[in-house]
Amino acid sequence: MILVSDSKAQYEAIKPEIDGAIQRVLDSGWFVLGKEVVAFEAEFATWNDNKYAVGVGNGTDAIALALRAVGIGPGDEVITTTHTATFGVLGISMAGATPVLCDINPATGNIDPSQIVARITSRTKAIMPVHLYGAPAEMEPILAIADQHGLVVVEDCAQAHGAEYKGRKVGTLGRIAAFSFYPSKNLGAFGDGGLVATDERALADMVTALRNGGQEGRYNHVYKGVNSRLDELHAAMLRVKLAHLDEWNRRRGELACYYHGKLEGIPGLALLPGPLGGKSVYHLYVVKVEEGRRAALQEHLTKRGVATTIHYPTPVHLQPAYRDLEQGVGSFPHAEAFAQACLSLPLYPEMTQAQQDTVVAAVREFFS
């Protein structure tokens, strides 16, 4: 079976480096908030053109802590997209704030800036664009809206390590940013992990305190923080992977370009355009299937040994957990239609051309 992503293949490609990093941590006898975390934070900040980076337990915590660091909490509203992984919106809820959902650009799947202003109220404190599928959101109008209304921009970069918007890396455009290192991400750990990036020392210091029980100095709990610490083993392994990330992202771009050339123009199948004003790192390769045919296509591909996934089948406003927002079917028509059409095909840096040709042949066979 050709998988949508293959963490095992990546591990096997760099096994000696990963095994050496693990052994280094085991030999050190130090497993939480040690030298590996400090080194990874510095290396990631340099790589992403940030001044500061703070490792945390996972991407959802990264969002919650980033929001808390900029002063957002109960009674505040944060505008974000409804077409995303619900885990990101849960970060808003974890911070005590209320998510205010927004529709998408039906071509890209990313948040539609033209829909944001109508969602702003007296309680709105931030906009959280999601750089979905590895493609940057349209940040220029989003930043302009935020500036005009005195709002903070908190970037959700969970799927977009290394993506760029008009020559700047995502995670450097807003005031603070959250990253995820879930295993399937472009930069993935061997378990959960996350990071908050910013250019403001005060915000980095606040996240550093909040992630470790709200402590400033050992056993001095100044804030009601959480326990969300990136451990030494994951930091050591992420340091190894970070050195390969630019090459892996380049390879993802090659694979995406190959798909474009082989799948373009097939009746019943729509390809997503390139990001508006930016560069995608193709965390996922997503296509849209004409109404009523997606399930049949998935079944056909499975029989041909090709795995697929839907990112994401249910918009946040239709999730039972967010029924309290009282936004039923029809509230965000573009997101709802996109969720019914989108399908993720296999794409990962270690994928061979033979594997990709198998995927292409199976897709073309179905539509023929």
pLDDT computed for residue 156 by the predictor: 99
pLDDT of residue 346: 98
Query: What are the start and end residues of each CATH 3.40.640.10 domain in the chain?
Result: 7-102+110-240
Q: What is the C-alpha to C-alpha distance for residues 131 and 152, in angstroms, rounded to an integer?
A: 16
Strands (E), the chain: 52-56, 77-81, 98-102, 124-128, 152-156, 164-165, 168-169, 176-180, 194-198, 269-271, 278-279, 285-289, 342-345
pLDDT for 204-243, tens place per residue? 999 999 999 999 989 999 999 999 999 999 999 999 999 9
Residue range(s) in the chain whose domain bears CATH number 3.90.1150.10:
245-367
**CATH T-level fold of 7-102+110-240:** Aspartate Aminotransferase; domain 2 (3.40.640)
Report the topology of domain 245-367: Aspartate Aminotransferase, domain 1 (3.90.1150)
pLDDT tens string, the chain, 368 residues long: the values are: 999 999 999 999 999 999 999 999 999 999 999 999 999 999 999 999 999 999 999 999 999 999 999 999 999 999 999 999 999 999 999 999 999 999 999 999 999 999 999 999 999 999 999 999 999 999 999 999 999 999 999 999 999 999 999 999 999 999 999 999 999 999 999 999 999 999 999 999 999 999 999 999 899 999 999 999 999 999 999 999 999 999 999 999 999 999 999 999 999 999 999 887 889 999 999 999 999 999 999 999 999 999 999 999 999 999 999 999 999 999 999 999 999 999 999 999 999 999 999 999 999 999 99
What is the reported pTM?
0.97
CB atoms within 10 A of CB 118: 8
What are the structure tokens assigned to 7, written together? 């963490």
